[in-house]
Amino acid sequence: MGRLLLIVTALLFLCVFLVLPLLVVFAQALAKGFEVYYLAILAPMAWAAVKLTLLVAAIAVPLNLIFGVAAAWAIAKFNFRGKSALITLIDLPFAVSPVIAGMIFILVFGTHGWFGGYLRAHHIRVVFAVPGIVLATMFVTFPFIARELIPVMQSQGKDDEETALSLGATGWQTFWRVTLPNIRWGLLYGVLLCNARAMGEFGAVSVVAGHIRGVTNTMPLHVEILYNEYNYTAAFAVASLLALLALLTLAGKSILEWRQPELRHAVRRPRDRTRRAYS
Amino acid sequence: MKVNSSAAAALMGRKTRGVLPGFGLTLGYTMVYLSLLVLIPISAVFIRSSSGGWAHFWEVVTAPRVLASLRLSFGASLVAASINVVFGLIVSWVLVRYTFPFKRFIDGMVDLPFALPTAVAGIALTALYAPNGWLGAWLKPLGIEVAFTPLGIVVALTFIGMPFVVRTLQPVLEELDREVEQAAASLGASPLQAFCRVIFPALWPALLTGFALAFARAIGEYGSVIFIAGNMPMRSEIAPLLIVAKLEQYDYAGATAIAVVMLVLSFAIMFGINALQNWAASRHGER
């Protein structure tokens, strides 16, 4: 009896807070029929937003991937002083409000910012332009891949790499042929989460973007503009694309967790795993 | 023999920092990238806000509108994180202990608030709780208004924070020994007694961590809140929105002052969570 009550309570809570918000997106998007939906998605401004979102993710994700691999290599394979402080610093962007994440780049690159005068003299626009959006996205998604890879690499130790090196492989060969195949699922997992956030980031991007239609509109910003213009059907149509992306991300995540059950725990308790690998 | 050689390798490795190459390169790259993208830009907030002087900082931070927004942000986050602790505990308990149809699917869906862009969550919740929405239409006759009130902010922050509590509790519940509960039951403890005396003591560090993570995320949250909040100054205006408002008026001193307050509190919570997890791990030892 108590058991049934608990299950019903949990499912009711999840229904109200997860299922209904998801359903309402698609219901509102299709409220005026498929034709209106297609027209809203195929509108030139919507397409410009899709393209910019893809561009931003295509820059931010690979850069954070390179950083994540480098950071994980240094942290997981070597011992040095200040390692746990470095891990905490890598997590720092998670503790920063998205709005502040956008603001810091205005303070550095804006008209009245540190490099404002230099940039204006050389006609380079960072803030209220695409470079600012990319920077803000990179900041917000900075920890994702590093934080997945560090526990994965730590749990694997360095025996495989040392064997390869003792057999005469160079450092790069060891990395490409031994390390990379070992960490590929963890890498994919991190890229998946990083990409979802990069494409969906709103607060940070909204502060640096300046809302120039068709020029600095990512998909989430375009949703906001359409919504504020009371064009609800179109807003929810673009939002439904982002919701599909979220569902695909969750599906990919579940498949990877099913293949590699330890990824689940890597994500849930990164610090614990880190500590266990140390001792 | 094999054990000996690997032990020797480990010893030598410790002395010479290992035979693996790339330490200088990867650590150097990590430090440079971290400094350029994260540390230096964040320091800009502190430097900029201190340029106006302490008196000005205090004047901005204690202005009634700023105080009201900070009170709202922290209050709503506190309520939302508390709701999440209660329901997060029930959800994670049900997911770990019981079997029912579509359990794996439901378990995967718990991460939806992580994956769904906040702006999408914001307009979806607004549509749901608006007076003519699926849920709003039911609540209106009861005299409960959610959309465009502080209650709406709590709803959005509950949505955003939920996975933090569930995902922190799940592994702890999975590791919890069921035999201890059964022993408590066989010694005559009621289920409630067993929960209070046996389960809760093992669970509370994870509950507190989940609460702190959800709370920290909620304080800074922007996208999912602004659509449902109504954004009335002094009543339903959250602190991040006030930062945006000040930035739009080019009031950088004001914006950075609020940002400093929020950053200091967020960092304090983050270090608190770290300390809590270290303490909990050392208390439990290696299991």
Is residue A75 domain-shared with residue A22, that is, in the same domain?
A: no
User: Could you report the per-residue pLDDT of B235-275, keeping only the tens digit for each?
Assistant: 899 999 999 999 988 888 899 999 999 999 999 998 888 88
Is residue A40 domain-shared with residue A139, that is, in the same domain?
A: yes
B245 contacts in chain A (CB < 8 Å) = none
Is residue A25 domain-shared with residue A146, that is, in the same domain?
A: no
Is residue A81 domain-shared with residue A98, that is, in the same domain?
A: yes
Q: Tell me, what's the pLDDT at B224?
A: 94
> Which one-letter DSSP state was computed for residue B199?
I
Is residue A40 domain-shared with residue A172, that is, in the same domain?
A: yes
A21–B124 CB contact, under 8 Å: yes
Is residue A260 domain-shared with residue A274, that is, in the same domain?
A: yes
Q: Provide CB contacts within 8 A for A20, sequence distance 6+.
A: B128, B134, B135
User: Could you report the per-residue pLDDT of A178-220, keeping only the tens digit for each?
Assistant: 999 999 999 999 999 999 999 999 999 999 987 666 678 999 9
Helices and strands counted in chain B (H then E): 16, 0
Is residue A122 domain-shared with residue A142, that is, in the same domain?
A: yes
Is residue A245 domain-shared with residue A216, that is, in the same domain?
A: yes
Which B-chain residues 203-232 have CB contacts (< 8 A) with chain A? 216, 219-223, 227
User: Could you report the per-residue pLDDT of B57-95, keeping only the tens digit for each?
Assistant: 999 999 999 999 999 999 999 999 999 999 999 999 999
For the full predicted model, state whether its pTM sits above 0.95: no
Helix axes B23-34, A44-77, angle to 10 degrees: 140
Quick one: CA dihedral B139, B140, B141, B142, positive or negative?
positive
Q: Is the pLDDT of residue B6 over 90?
A: no
Is residue A9 domain-shared with residue A143, that is, in the same domain?
A: no
User: Could you report the per-residue pLDDT of A239-256, keeping only the tens digit for each?
Assistant: 999 999 999 999 999 999
User: Could you report the per-residue pLDDT of A120-175, keeping only the tens digit for each?
Assistant: 889 888 888 999 999 999 999 999 999 999 999 998 888 899 999 999 899 899 99
A86 contacts in chain B (CB < 8 Å) = 30, 34
- Which residue has tokens 């806000």? B49
- Number of compact structural domains in chain A: 2
Is residue A257 domain-shared with residue A199, that is, in the same domain?
A: yes
B20–A158 CB contact, under 8 Å: yes
We report the CATH number of the domain holding residue A139 as: 1.10.3720.10
> How large is the average pLDDT for residues B165-183?
86
Q: Is the pLDDT of residue B7 over 70?
A: no
Can you tell me the distance from the alpha carbon of A39 to that of A45, in angstroms, rounded to the nearest whole number? 11
The mean of the pLDDT values for chain A is: 89
Is residue A146 domain-shared with residue A215, that is, in the same domain?
A: yes
Is residue A9 domain-shared with residue A82, that is, in the same domain?
A: no
Q: Is the pLDDT of residue B11 over 80?
A: no
Record the tokens describing residue B171, joined without a space.
Answer: 């592994």
Range of the domain at A106: 33-278
User: Could you report the per-residue pLDDT of B28-56, keeping only the tens digit for each?
Assistant: 999 999 999 999 999 999 998 888 788 88
A272 contacts in chain B (CB < 8 Å) = 277, 281
